[in-house]
Amino acid sequence: MTGTPSVSTRLWLRAPLAILAEDAGGGIVVEGSRIVELVASGGQPSSPVDETFDAARHVVLPGLVNTHHHFFQTLTRAHPLAINKPLFPWLKALYTVWDKLTPEAFRLATRLAYTELLLSGCTTAGDHHYLFPKGLEQAVDIQAEEARALGIRAVITRGSMSLSERDGGLPPECLTQDDDTILEDSERVLRLFHDTAPGAMVQIGLAPCSPFNVTKRLMRESAALAERHDCRLHTHLGETLDEDRYCLELFGQRPVEYLEEVGWMTGRTWLAHGIHFTTDEIARLGRAGVGVCHCPTSNMTLASGQCRTCELEAAGSPVGLGVDGSASNDSSNLMEGVRHALMINRLTYGAEAVSHRDALRWATEGSARCLGRSDIGRIAAGCEADLALFTLDELRFSGAHDPLAALVLCGAHRADRVMVAGRWRVLDGRPLGSETGRLREEHSRLARHLFGTV
């Protein structure tokens, strides 16, 4: 057993049951926040270590990377106003309650979502927060504070809505902000929290919510701001056929043409969902290096459609995975998302075309590429020591033969240990620094109080 390694400690995770890395059957050596050595089967580290952790019971994955979520929606899961609806009616129903979001509830929702993600083996959590009702102007600050407290890596995208019903958009006016306020706050949070160095624990991206709720000016100026601050751009695009119709009616163009016009066809951009693209649009997105976050669970729940993952990857687009907001999932479990990705993509492409390794690659390396990160998402010397360790001790794994395949096919959903930047953040299936019982109690109490319908 071992505790939290200090910065100078050399820790050997010895001879895991299985590991998602080449030539690392003997395990890996972690020093400080990084992986410094892969050890071949039967081998020893090249120089002495301070601590050894026997990983014989563990299947070791690179920490999963979540590239799309809306943490606040954990407060409105399985909401009677919204269940059994497709996206647009689902959104309109929830807009009527989301304006009640308070800073206290948002902090708990953030803590709960980070914790759920960590427990599922996620070490980098992306969130797309676009709701800034009066009093919640410091939402990004809250998310950065909570990430630091839990020790999870975070990519927080400053979302926004500026086109209300009055101007042809979808949300009510009370949930929107004006473009100048949004841009000013975007610059503020970039200055305060955005770290461009390798190994960054907190990064900021800019994320106008979608074509149906922001102005084109906001899209254009966000792209310019992202260029100046070297940050990523993120938005929802190509999620539903309703969005296609909306864009054609309001702008006389399809969503990808819209993206081109506002200057977002760049390698800085990654899109949530990316379902309804033509073959020609996929080629254009791939050429530009635009990434796509595949959200299989949400896409099946809202019956939005199937992202053309294989064609997008072949065209050159990074493809990652995301759980999406917890009102359309309704969970924050990224390992469950990996399993869903495998299943829905097999249904589309065939059982031999998509393997458990593809689904795991989307959730790790693919997601990291969407975020523009080469320091995470892989188990390799020089990468950050972000790791998820699973045991196969539950009944669901009994009789399984290939340990890596078993994680996905038998439905692993909870990591036994999680390491972020060389530090254990989950031990024996429990998050350090978060009391899950109390958290659940307080979060569910506020969810009922603010958003309950009875």
**Which residues of the shown chain bind Zn ion in the complex (CB under 5 A)?**
272, 324
The two tokens of residue 5 are: 């390694």
CB 128, min distance to Zn ion, A: 6
CB 210, min distance to Zn ion, A: 8
Burial of 82 (0-12, 13-18, 19+ CB in 10 A): buried
CB 324, min distance to Zn ion, A: 5
Give the CA distances from residue 194 to residues 154, 156, 327, in Å, rounded to whole numbers and listed in that order: 10, 9, 28
* Cβ proximity to Zn ion, 185 vs 324, nearer residue: 324
The two most distant CA atoms of the chain are separated, in Å, by: 68
Nearest to 124 by CA among 309, 368, 345: 368
CB 325, min distance to Zn ion, A: 5
Cα dihedral sign, 168-174-176-179: positive
CB 348, min distance to Zn ion, A: 21
* Cβ proximity to Zn ion, 33 vs 297, nearer residue: 297
* Cβ proximity to Zn ion, 160 vs 391, nearer residue: 160
CB 159, min distance to Zn ion, A: 9
Strand partners, 303: none
CB 351, min distance to Zn ion, A: 29
Strand partners, 237: 273
* Cβ proximity to Zn ion, 69 vs 369, nearer residue: 69
Rg over alpha carbons for the chain, rounded to the nearest Å, is 21
* Cβ proximity to Zn ion, 61 vs 323, nearer residue: 323
Is-contact 375 198, C-beta < 8 A? yes
* Cβ proximity to Zn ion, 179 vs 324, nearer residue: 324
Compute CA 454 distance to the chain's CA centroid, rounded to the nearest angstrom: 32
* Cβ proximity to Zn ion, 37 vs 239, nearer residue: 239
* Cβ proximity to Zn ion, 272 vs 385, nearer residue: 272
Q: What is the DSSP string of 81-141?
A: TTTT--HHHHHHHHHHHHTT--HHHHHHHHHHHHHHHHHTTEEEEEEEE----TT-TTHHH
Nearest to 288 by CA among 305, 308, 276, 271: 271
Strand partners, 54: 14
CB 298, min distance to Zn ion, A: 7
